[in-house]
Amino acid sequence: MNDRNIFERNMLALSAKNPLLCQRLSRANPQKGMYIFERARNGSPVPLWALHKEKPVPLHSLIDPDREGERLIETSFSGREGSLIFLGLGGGYALRSAISRSTIHHITIIDFHIDGIAELFSHIDYVPILTDPRVDLLIDPDKKEVQEYLISKYAPVFWGNLNILSLRNRYQSEETLFSELQRWISEGLEQVGEDFSVQALFGKRWFSNIIRNMLFSSPETTPLPPVRNVAITAAGPSLEKHLTSLKKNRRDFFLLATDTSLSALLLSNIVPDGVVSIDCQHISYHHFLKGIPDRVFLFADLASPPSVVQRSRHTYFFAGGHPLTRYLVQWWRSFPVVDTSGGNVTYAAVSLAEQLGARSIRLYGADFSYPEGKTYARGTYVYDVFQEKQSRLAPLESILSAFLFRSPSLEKKVDSRGWRYETKPLTTYRLRLERLAQHLSVPITASEGDGSPLTLPSLSSPVTSNTLSVFGPGRQALSARDFLSEYSEKIRRLPSPKGIPFGKYLAQRSGEELGILMTLAPLAAALRHRQKELSLWELFEMVVTRALTEIEQFL
């Protein structure tokens, strides 16, 4: 087979999955001489990196590259499930061994220099690798592409443990470049790990809450007209210094309280127009122990606890980031979609304000730190809880101090505003809010406070349109119970992945089946977290059983 035929076969194999990469390869120059090729003793073609400063370096054994590749994969995946990121394409010998293993669920290959890849495509047959549905090939990615790929693609609950292996001589040929790539991967995986940890903690509760809230969702909900100026109260200590002005100018804005700040407002006889809640934990019930005034709207994520939802006479549900809520929006009822990816309620409140049609947003009490060692504004739930716990031997101040110093990442900062403690989670929340602010179509400002300063953009152009003309859910496609009956039947019909690499299993699924699977992913993460020894198909069976049990009690 001549070089042109090998190249065309590889391109045909790649075209079905990655036509954009095919276009780039078709325009590449395979004559740059980045590689030369020799035959190993067993007859297999071996690429040599030709740009080495001394002499060309073989990327594989010149004796038996096939056996060398098998040993590398055997060492990393001996009897274990998982997925693989492989740095360097080379001759693909380790990759051929990887695709022969049903315990490897996904494979990502990353390399650089499109002209060099075109050379490799002209000399080595990669068809079995490129046609395997588990395999993705990234060439010349930048940091953003690598990290967006990992965040969107890598699902620990399905792919298992991720192994990062490299073609040693290819890595060493451009060590600075590949070291930088590894740093990008590590940063991307850190965010994936954070998301997975949250799913592992709350996946079961999310699923349970969503199913129940579907039944509480009123068939008829009056849409809300657009609001104009929105004041958002977070629960940081700085909120205290603004309570007087908020009360005095109460008629000038739509007051949207985060759930944590609600009790502090009510204690000062300030009644907000709305309160937003996204926490799925039952502890969020404590924010509402003083009640929700009759005329206050509760804006609640569909994954919020039903115990909270039932305390309001005017609940407006929205879909946050859970795949089941997004599935409901698509197939059952068009709830408003609010960005909750920031991981905290202030972020969600800002996103909600934009959805409500706000022309301007102003934040109060968004400290994202502990100014002068204070954790929350007075009147918030922690004071009520800790006051009940205090005693002569454990006064309130010592309990609050212990609450503050429970964080292992406290860092003291001093500037012209005074001093404060910052933590890694609070800093992450602040940075996420600042990134959200960059993309808002609404001017956003923050009142003066003692916490970590917020870097917010100035929006020079006036706001001329609202995100939504009205805010509220659409009509139900059918009753909640009928929809749940159909949904449970679709779960029941999902084929088992037993004995099939999960990447192949997903490739065999219809669009509808993939949608159903994704709605179960956070539940699967929670069950995996508790029973790590389960094989993937055993986990699948457990998830299906748990989901059906949860749903069928309401049918």
Query: Is 456 a residue whose pLDDT tops 90?
Result: yes
Cα separation, 182 vs 177, whole angstroms? 9
Per-residue pLDDT reduced to its tens digit, 480-538: 999 999 999 999 999 999 888 888 888 899 999 999 999 999 999 999 888 888 888 89
**H or E element: which one contains 192?**
helix 175-216
Q: Are residues 224 and 346 in the same domain?
A: yes
Query: Is 302 a residue whose pLDDT tops 90?
Result: yes
Inter-CA distances, 515 with 327, 442, 477, 520, Å: 7, 33, 18, 9
pLDDT at position 385: 63
Cα separation, 71 vs 75, whole angstroms? 6
Per-residue pLDDT reduced to its tens digit, 107-143: 999 999 999 999 999 999 999 999 999 999 999 999 9
In this structure, is residue 361 part of a structural domain? Answer: yes
In this structure, is residue 199 part of a structural domain? Answer: no
CB 331 within 8 A of CB 265: no
Residues 6+ apart with CB under 8 A from 86: 94, 95, 98, 107, 108, 109, 110, 165, 166, 167
In this structure, is residue 454 part of a structural domain? Answer: no
CB 467 within 8 A of CB 456: no
Among residues 544, 538, 535, the alpha carbon closest in space to that of 517 is found at 544
Q: Are residues 381 and 509 in the same domain?
A: no
Confidence of residue 181 (pLDDT cuts 50, 70, 90): very high
Inter-CA distances, 157 with 41, 161, 529, Å: 42, 9, 9
Domain C-terminal end among 402, 428, 446: 446
In this structure, is residue 329 part of a structural domain? Answer: yes
> What are residue 165's DSSP bridge partners?
86
Inter-CA distances, 514 with 271, 335, 434, Å: 45, 21, 34
Cα separation, 482 vs 216, whole angstroms? 14
Query: Is 455 a residue whose pLDDT tops 90?
Result: yes
Query: Is 264 a residue whose pLDDT tops 60?
Result: yes
Among residues 280, 193, 159, 204, the alpha carbon closest in space to that of 526 is found at 204
Question: Comparing 290 with 398, which gets the higher pLDDT?
Answer: 290
In this structure, is residue 229 part of a structural domain? Answer: yes
Query: Is 195 a residue whose pLDDT tops 60?
Result: yes
DSSP letters, 222-274, are: PPBPPP-EEEEE--SGGGGGGHHHHHHTGGGSEEEEEHHHHHHHHHTT---SE
Question: Comparing 397 with 5, which gets the higher pLDDT?
Answer: 5
Instruction: Report the pLDDT averaged over residues 459-476.
Output: 68
Cα separation, 445 vs 437, whole angstroms? 9
In this structure, is residue 256 part of a structural domain? Answer: yes
Confidence of residue 388 (pLDDT cuts 50, 70, 90): low
Q: Structure pTM?
A: 0.84
How wide is the angle at C-alpha 286 spanned by C-alphas 285 and 292, nearest 5°? 70
pLDDT at position 462: 47
pLDDT at position 405: 63
pLDDT at position 375: 86
Number of domains comprising the chain: 3
Query: Is 289 a residue whose pLDDT tops 80?
Result: no
Query: Is 1 a residue whose pLDDT tops 60?
Result: no
In this structure, is residue 167 part of a structural domain? Answer: yes
Q: Are residues 439 and 484 in the same domain?
A: no
In this structure, is residue 285 part of a structural domain? Answer: yes
> What are residue 277's DSSP bridge partners?
300
Q: Are residues 488 and 442 in the same domain?
A: no
DSSP letters, 334-349, are: ---B---TTSSHHHHH
pLDDT at position 535: 84
Instruction: Report the pLDDT averaged over residues 264-277.
Output: 95
Query: Is 269 a residue whose pLDDT tops 60?
Result: yes
pLDDT at position 527: 93
CB 528 within 8 A of CB 131: no
As a whole-number percent, the residues of the chain with pLDDT over 70 amount to 92
Confidence of residue 386 (pLDDT cuts 50, 70, 90): low
- Mean pLDDT for the chain overall: 90
Q: Are residues 146 and 232 in the same domain?
A: no
Q: Are residues 233 and 286 in the same domain?
A: yes
The helix/strand/coil state of 35 is strand
Confidence of residue 297 (pLDDT cuts 50, 70, 90): very high
CB 234 within 8 A of CB 363: yes
Cα separation, 254 vs 231, whole angstroms? 6
How wide is the angle at C-alpha 492 spanned by C-alphas 489 and 496, nearest 5°? 150
CB 275 within 8 A of CB 296: yes
How many Cβ atoms sit within 10 Å of the Cβ of residue 458? 7
Q: Are residues 285 and 340 in the same domain?
A: yes
Query: Is 387 a residue whose pLDDT tops 70?
Result: no
* Strands across the sheet containing 411-415: 370-371, 418-422, 411-415
> What are residue 108's DSSP bridge partners?
85, 136
pLDDT at position 401: 63
Q: Are residues 362 and 494 in the same domain?
A: no
Q: Are residues 87 and 232 in the same domain?
A: no
How many Cβ atoms sit within 10 Å of the Cβ of residue 410? 14
Q: Are residues 224 and 152 in the same domain?
A: no
Cα separation, 46 vs 37, whole angstroms? 6
Q: Are residues 166 and 280 in the same domain?
A: no
Cα separation, 21 vs 284, whole angstroms? 48
Confidence of residue 398 (pLDDT cuts 50, 70, 90): low
Domain of residue 416: give its range: 220-446
CB 304 within 8 A of CB 280: yes
Give the dihedral sign, CA 4/10/12/14.
Answer: negative
Q: What is the largest CA-CA distance in the chain?
A: 88
Cα separation, 197 vs 43, whole angstroms? 48
Question: Comparing 320 with 458, which gets the higher pLDDT?
Answer: 320
pLDDT at position 390: 58
Q: Are residues 164 and 246 in the same domain?
A: no
